[in-house]
């Protein structure tokens, strides 16, 4: 039951608010085999990660997930199979400087390297299939002018190339830089929810809480108010004020 959750909002204290009100988004059905979960979240200019093993039949501890994760942007990757046992380096999301990436559907057979990838991102390019795809993504974006200044069109084109390299018919990925997050699904389900809620007293000057939550992959148990994407081939741009734009992958 593998799922990636993307979260963005206009407040640093909103992740717990969303997770406690819709826990089935963040805590999937216990698996029959050992797995792992990983969280990547922003604090200031840094990307921090939290990664834990999850034994067969055990449920994710939501309090542990949320502890110290004061953030307005996050990726959560649930239900990652660990056939060789838990290894923090192999669990997504993966990070490089201020960038984060995770994916579903990277086969061990389909991801190949090339010289400039190995030279620039050797530690990623020699890792798991997902890490090697991340290295390819960074290389593609560097060729286009840099991963921080890239345009949505460049990211979509890079995701398409990653899918071609991934070696699987169904593929989903998320990528975040200092400006926005991107979501890509081909042959894979995606659903989303917008939140727009008052904070405190109706007469308070504080702006309302706004957020968007996207779930990619296995959507079993999602709340009914999550909207399914119009197709299983979707590219999404998530702004950090909670705005979302969906188009063709």
Mean pLDDT by 10 residues, the chain (249 residues): 92 90 84 90 92 89 91 94 82 92 80 58 73 87 64 93 87 92 96 85 72 94 92 91 84
Cβ-Cβ contacts under 8 Å for 57 (sequence gap 6 or more): 30, 31, 32
Q: Rounded to whole angstroms, how far apart are CA atoms 166 and 158?
A: 12
Q: Rounded to whole angstroms, how far apart are CA atoms 189 and 209?
A: 27
Length reported for the chain: 249
Domain ranges (residues) in the chain: 3-248
Q: What's the pLDDT at 213?
A: 96
Q: What's the pLDDT at 249?
A: 82
Sheet of 73-81, strands arranged across: 46-54, 35-43, 73-81, 3-9, 209-217, 190-197, 227-228
Cβ-Cβ contacts under 8 Å for 22 (sequence gap 6 or more): 193, 213, 223
Q: Rounded to whole angstroms, how far apart are CA atoms 172 and 105?
A: 7
Place of tokens 């593998």: 2
Q: Rounded to whole angstroms, how far apart are CA atoms 80 and 3?
A: 8
Q: What's the pLDDT at 87?
A: 85
Q: Rounded to whole angstroms, how far apart are CA atoms 81 and 136?
A: 23
Q: What's the pLDDT at 94?
A: 95
Buried b (16+ CB within 10 A) or exposed e, 85-104: ebeeebbbbbbbeebbbbbb
Q: Rounded to whole angstroms, how far apart are CA atoms 114 and 51?
A: 29
Q: What's the pLDDT at 118?
A: 54
Q: What is the CATH architecture of 3-248?
A: 4-Layer Sandwich (3.60)
């Amino acid at each position: 039951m593998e799922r990636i959750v993307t979260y963005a909002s206009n407040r640093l204290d909103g992740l717990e608010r969303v997770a406690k009100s819709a826990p089935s988004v963040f805590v999937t059905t216990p698996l029959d085999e050992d797995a792992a979960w990983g969280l990547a979240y922003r604090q200031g200019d840094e990307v921090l990660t939290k990664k834990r093993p999850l034994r067969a039949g055990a449920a994710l501890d939501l309090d542990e997930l949320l502890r110290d994760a004061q953030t307005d942007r996050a990726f959560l990757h649930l239900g990652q199979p660990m056939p060789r046992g838990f290894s923090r380096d192999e669990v997504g999301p993966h990070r490089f400087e201020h960038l984060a990436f995770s994916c579903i559907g990277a086969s061990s057979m389909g991801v190949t390297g090339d010289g400039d990838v190995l030279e620039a991102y050797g530690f990623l390019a020699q890792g798991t299939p997902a890490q090697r795809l991340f290295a390819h993504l960074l290389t593609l974006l560097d060729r286009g002018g840099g991963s921080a200044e890239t345009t949505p069109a460049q990211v979509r084109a890079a995701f398409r190339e990653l899918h071609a390299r991934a070696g699987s018919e169904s593929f989903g990925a998320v990528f975040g830089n200092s400006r926005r997050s991107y979501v890509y699904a081909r042959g894979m389900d995606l659903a989303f929810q917008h939140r727009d809620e008052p904070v405190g007293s109706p007469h308070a000057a504080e702006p309302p809480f706004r957020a968007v939550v996207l779930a990619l992959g296995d959507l079993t148990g999602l709340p009914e108010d999550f909207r399914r994407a119009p197709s299983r081939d979707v590219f999404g741009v998530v702004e950090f004020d909670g705005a979302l734009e969906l188009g063709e992958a």
